[in-house]
Amino acid sequence: MSPAKVTGIVFNIQRYSIDDGPGIRTTVFFKGCPLSCIWCSNPESQNFEPELMHRDSLCKRCYRCVAACPLGAISVGADGVVIDRETCDACGECVRACPHDAMRITGQEMTVDEVFEVVKRDADYYRDSGGGVTLSGGEVLMQPDFALALLKRCKEAGFHTCVDTSGQGSTEGLRRLFPYVDLFYFDIKHLDPRIHRAETGMANEHILRNFAEVVASGIPLVVRVPVVPGFNDSVDAISDIADFVAKRVPGGTVHLLPYHRYGQQKYAMLGLDYELKDAETPSPEFLRAARKIVESRGLKCEVAV
């Protein structure tokens, strides 16, 4: 198969992004992730298959979706539309029937050509701002052939490339990407494998081995740390991560990403429970202290806003 015809599952292509690498960027979000972080702000990224999302705030209770569903997966309940997620195959008939945009499918199969047609539109912005294209997720390493073909295409066009990864994926697939990546954003969430498994669904040994691979490659990298209440919002947890990074990437860069609830509504749209509904964003005082801890190890540190 021609590399341009290689396909992957994408759930969003975000243009004019300024948070996913230097300059103005286009971020391609891959669908599917082996982790199940309880704070995930993109729950639609976790499942590898396309999914139906229902925004109840837009629903006018016309129930045309009920009649349109060929599998009978949509019914009327006491509070409005009820979706049988086990039966729904995300065919999209309800989306086409809904006149209020309350239904949508997240995730679609796209070729490298199709994705590139979108990202190349902003080539002038990349050039003028020092930006480029970022592959994110979900988890990029779960679709290594698609990622490789897309990165090659971007490099052929002269675009700066960044891969944002949790590190949980094929090491062989990761190595294949190296010649076509200008920058890695690499998540380090916690160094205790038991705590990591409890809140993400998997231990971290493989992640840390892949981190070592990226360090050894010599490709520039930024370590990203989601700061999550009850998980790693402690002096000990941040200190452990700072020590780990400083030993392996002296003078490196760490971004602290405070927990937020921006994705909470998406859980309801997918029929999922949101486990952290009572959690609070880390205080400015703690974030200042965390930044000082990181910087005291000779690392550069930024706190996302």
pLDDT of residue 90: 96
pLDDT of residue 305: 80
User: Residue 150 — very low, low, confident or very high, per pLDDT cuts 50/70/90?
Assistant: very high
Select from 95, 73, 99, 76 the least CA-distant residue to 84.
73
**Under 8 Å CB-to-CB from 240, ≥6 apart: which residues?**
191, 192
Is the pLDDT assigned to residue 205 strictly greater than 90? yes
d(C-alpha 90, C-alpha 87), whole Å? 9
**Under 8 Å CB-to-CB from 280, ≥6 apart: which residues?**
229
d(C-alpha 92, C-alpha 270), whole Å? 15
pLDDT of residue 5: 84
Is the pLDDT assigned to residue 152 strictly greater than 70? yes
Is the pLDDT assigned to residue 216 strictly greater than 70? yes
pLDDT of residue 277: 87
pLDDT of residue 229: 95
pLDDT of residue 234: 97
* Residue recorded with tokens 């049988």: 84
Neighbours of 162 (CB within 10 A): 25
* Pair 213, 242: CB distance under 8 Å: no
The amino acid present at 163, given as its one-letter code, is V
* φ, ψ dihedrals at 33, nearest 5°: -145, 135
d(C-alpha 42, C-alpha 128), whole Å? 30
Instruction: Render pLDDT for 41-58 as a digit per residue (tens, 0 to 9).
Output: 999 999 999 999 999 999
Give the CA dihedral 255, 121, 15, 116, nearest 10 degrees: -80
Is the pLDDT assigned to residue 181 strictly greater than 90? yes
User: Residue 3 — very low, low, confident or very high, per pLDDT cuts 50/70/90?
Assistant: confident
Percent residues over pLDDT 90 in the chain: 96
State both tokens at 41. 């702000």
The sign of the CA dihedral 27, 263, 18, 239 is negative
Element (H, E) at 93: helix 93-97
Write down the pTM of the prediction: 0.94
List % helix, strand, coil for the chain (3-state, nearest 5). Answer: 40, 25, 40
Average pLDDT over residues 238-246: 98
State both tokens at 104. 């949508």
Is the link from the previous residue into 138 a cis peptide, with omega within 30 of 0?
A: yes
State both tokens at 167. 């590190």
Select from 139, 133, 183 the least CA-distant residue to 28.
133
* Residue recorded with tokens 């971020």: 27
d(C-alpha 176, C-alpha 45), whole Å? 23
The amino acid present at 138, given as its one-letter code, is G
**Whole-number mean pLDDT of the chain?**
96
Domains by residue range for the chain, with CATH: 3-47+108-303 (3.20.20.70), 51-105 (3.30.70.20)
d(C-alpha 203, C-alpha 33), whole Å? 14
**Under 8 Å CB-to-CB from 98, ≥6 apart: which residues?**
64, 65
Decide the pairing of beta strands 74-77 and 80-83: antiparallel
Select from 231, 215, 236, 224 the least CA-distant residue to 289.
236
Average pLDDT over residues 14-19: 95
pLDDT of residue 1: 65
Decide the pairing of beta strands 132-136 and 160-165: parallel
Instruction: Render pLDDT for 75-125 as a digit per residue (tens, 0 to 9).
Output: 999 999 999 999 999 999 999 999 999 999 999 999 999 999 999 999 999
Percent residues over pLDDT 70 in the chain: 99
In 3-state terms, what secondary structure has residue 75? strand
